[in-house]
């Protein structure tokens, strides 16, 4: 599992997928979410605007990323 730092929370799921390089762009992020391929804290997340916070874990196709907020 890798960690990706964000400058402030919350961050929307679609934005985070791009930041963490889990999606190539916004359209790709939307496709991944609509196809049920994005899990947040172990559950499928279908809302592109879902609010993510420090400690949340996002998984896309086996790639696990934990969110951390820069101090």
Q: Where is 68: in which H helix or E strand?
A: strand 63-69
| pLDDT tens for each residue of 8-66 | 999 999 999 999 999 999 999 999 999 999 999 999 999 999 999 999 999 999 999 99
Reduce the DSSP state of residue 71 to 3 states and report it: coil
Whether pLDDT at 71 is above 90:
no
| pLDDT tens for each residue of 27-38 | 999 999 999 999
Residue 41, pLDDT score? 98
The reported pTM is 0.94
For residue 30, the tally of other CB atoms under 10 A from its CB is 14
Residue 70, pLDDT score? 87
DSSP letter string over 1-64?
-EEEEESSS-EEHHHHHHHTTSSSSHHHHHHHHHTT-EEETTEE---TT-EE-TT-EEEETTEE
């Amino acid at each position: 599992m890798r960690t990706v730092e964000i400058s402030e929370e919350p961050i929307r799921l679609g934005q985070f997928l791009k930041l963490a390089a889990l999606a190539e762009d916004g359209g790709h992020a939307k496709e991944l979410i609509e196809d049920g391929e994005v899990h947040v804290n172990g559950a499928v997340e279908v809302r592109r605007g879902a609010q993510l916070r420090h400690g949340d874990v996002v998984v896309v196709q086996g790639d696990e990323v934990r969110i951390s907020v820069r101090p």
